[in-house]
Amino acid sequence: MFDLPAFRSENPSLTLTLVSKCFDDLCSHSQTDNQTTSMYVARSVAQDVLNKHGVRAEKLLDACTVNGDVLYSPTLVALLQAAASGEKKVFALIIVDVQNDFITGSLAVSEGEMVVPVINKMGPHFTHIYKTADWHPTDHISFHSNVKKCIHATSARSNIQGADSEMFQTVIVCGPPELKQTLWPDHCIQGSFGAEFHKDLKTFPNEVRVNKGMKTTVDSYSGFWDNGDTSHTPLYNMLLSNGVTDVVVCGIATDFCVGFTALDAARHGFRTVVVNEAIRGVMPDTSAGMVARCKAAGVEFVSSASIPDLVKEKDVSGAVDRIFKVKKHFTVVDINANQQYTPPVN
């Protein structure tokens, strides 16, 4: 079951009748809209809210159905609970892949070292800090050297076959799952110097390392999910268990790991902010395209100078309104059990 944060409420007002209506509405939509809503999770959340939280019933019911769409997210429930009980926002800093290979190594990004002092200055403003890191096995599917040697097969649908491929080209690999794959130099190999965080990046007392890209057959740009949405890191659960409502994302590279981490954070219902001075991209055109894609998904881009004031915000009502406007379908799963997750359709 989802481990929802224990938000306080002195005036519980949710009745069993309304909880039952909430549960029935969720089940009804899951059956009629071909959107699978996990009944046991819905019942668990309804019972948890009834017993512990006392969020206003009408708000919870509104959260379940927005213009006929199923819009269930444990993050949304947590936000509504916070709004009802007067809790403040909880911010987390996600530092993406500030590793040697992306700054001075085999896949160095132009001006990559420039993000480090900006991140170091922001860090002390956050209670929760997560550092993602590529942590690849030697036979990883993203390495051109492996695809060139046909260690990983390319699909018959791929315009370029592995033996004929060149560095930085995109092929379709068989996986599983079958996906488009950009071919990179060997980088961030487990235990290597290139996989270590840059020496000038501060170690914060409250930081947690989140490794990704450990599966041989699928790459992982996002700090949350692999590129095929077949497996996840612990990041989402850690954010949820700490009651995080807003995330600030920074690091390398804008057009790949930073961008996809921000997109996943937004689709999971977190208010997502990216810091302009604390990101660098592989290529200007793909970076600009990713920024546009993120903005379309509701991700905000701000100056690092705004962070001290940003993390002092307390009112969660704006975040609730923002999530109401998303109007996306979510399949609810027990993420702790590593069950299949169906991402919202863009």
What's the pLDDT at 31? 42
How many CB atoms are located within 10 Å of the residue 326 CB? 19
Q: Which of 97, 101, 186, 226 is catalytic?
A: 97
What's the pLDDT at 87? 55
265 or 21, higher pLDDT = 265
- Range from 2-6, 82-86, 337-341 carrying the lowest mean pLDDT: 2-6
Distance from the Cα of residue 324 to its chain's centroid: 19
Tokens encoding 259: 């961008």
Q: Which of 257, 264, 294, 328 is catalytic?
A: 257
**Average pLDDT in the 291-303 region?**
94
Tokens encoding 248: 């600030």
Contact by Cβ (8 Å): 324, 71: yes
Q: Which of 9-13, 53-57, 150-154 has the highest mean pLDDT?
A: 150-154
Residue 3 bears catalytic tag: no
Which whole-number Å values give the CA distances from 193 to 112, 186, 334, in the listed order? 17, 12, 36
What's the pLDDT at 318? 55
Q: How far apart are CA 101 and CA 98, in angstroms?
A: 9
Q: Does 55 score more than 70 pLDDT?
A: no
165 or 53, higher pLDDT = 165
What's the pLDDT at 189? 98
CA angle 339, 344, 345 (to 5 degrees): 130
Provide the pLDDT confidence category of residue 65 given band limits of 50, 70 and 90: very low
Provide the pLDDT confidence category of residue 317 given band limits of 50, 70 and 90: low
Contact by Cβ (8 Å): 195, 135: yes
Q: Which of 64, 101, 134, 212 is catalytic?
A: 212
Residue 285 bears catalytic tag: no
What's the pLDDT at 176? 86
Q: Does 204 score more than 90 pLDDT?
A: yes
Residue 97 bears catalytic tag: yes
- Range from 82-91, 151-160, 288-297 carrying the lowest mean pLDDT: 82-91
Q: Does 337 score more than 50 pLDDT?
A: no
